[in-house]
Amino acid sequence: MADPRLLVFLHVAAKQRAFQTELQAALPGVAVTAVGRTGDFDRALSEGQDAVLTLPVVLAAHGLAPVLRGVRQGSADERYSLVGTEAAPDPGTVTAVGALDLLGRDGMTAFVYTLVGRHPKVERVTKVEDLLPLLQMQRVEAILLPSRLLSEVKMASRLNLASRELTAPVGLPTVARLGESGVQVMSAIKRLPNGITRAFGVEEWR
């Protein structure tokens, strides 16, 4: 009998292949596919999965409902920050923003609007490490990312970065069950070591 299948679509500071290897080692008996691009996510989803681990906004865009929610410090939400150089960006005036692509062009435009309250041009990237070059090359005025990734991004940059935390909450990673073996996958996810789940902002599952 084939192992139950888990599809993971999360942006973490580590390289995607290393992240998949780490997840696979921590989830014996589960076939893990970790992707970082919306196209790869759509493709893998169409091939059939037993469970999906991603952000609630991604699940909602695909008509899926979470059955297991990630929680940190008692909350199922986290905050995002706008990061610029020299001075903290003003959400009310920023005209171009770099962001990790979760939803494709139209979806990301709407997602950024819910956070900053306006429709700036959105430059989408697929890896955390690709955000800083957007600022360095002055292709955007600010980058948008989960506040928990700020320290790692600042450590990787020689720019004088300044950030402003936004008030709109974004749901932490959640799990949707798609197939019968999804229950087995969820049980395995609940046992993931903290060192792995902290990489995507989760301390416990509820």
Residues 95 and 160 occupy one common structural domain:
yes
Q: Is the pLDDT of residue 139 over 90?
A: yes
Q: What is the rounded average pLDDT of the residues 125-143?
A: 94
Q: Given pLDDT bands bounded at 50, 70 and 90, which one contains residue 16? A: confident
CATH number, position 144 = 3.40.190.10
User: Cα(19)–Cα(22) distance, rounded to whole angstroms?
Assistant: 5
User: Do 98 and 114 belong to one domain?
Assistant: yes
| Average confidence (pLDDT) over 189-203 | 94
What confidence score (pLDDT) does residue 93 get? Answer: 93
Query: Quick one: 47 and 21 in the same domain?
Result: yes
Report the domain count for the chain: 2
- With a pLDDT cut of 70, the percent of the chain lying above it is 100
What CATH number does the domain containing 51 carry?
Answer: 3.40.190
43 and 16, same domain (yes or no): yes
List, for residues 150-172, the tens digit of each pLDDT value. 988 888 888 889 999 999 999 99
pTM to 2 decimal places: 0.94
- Domain of residue 13, residue span: 5-74+171-205
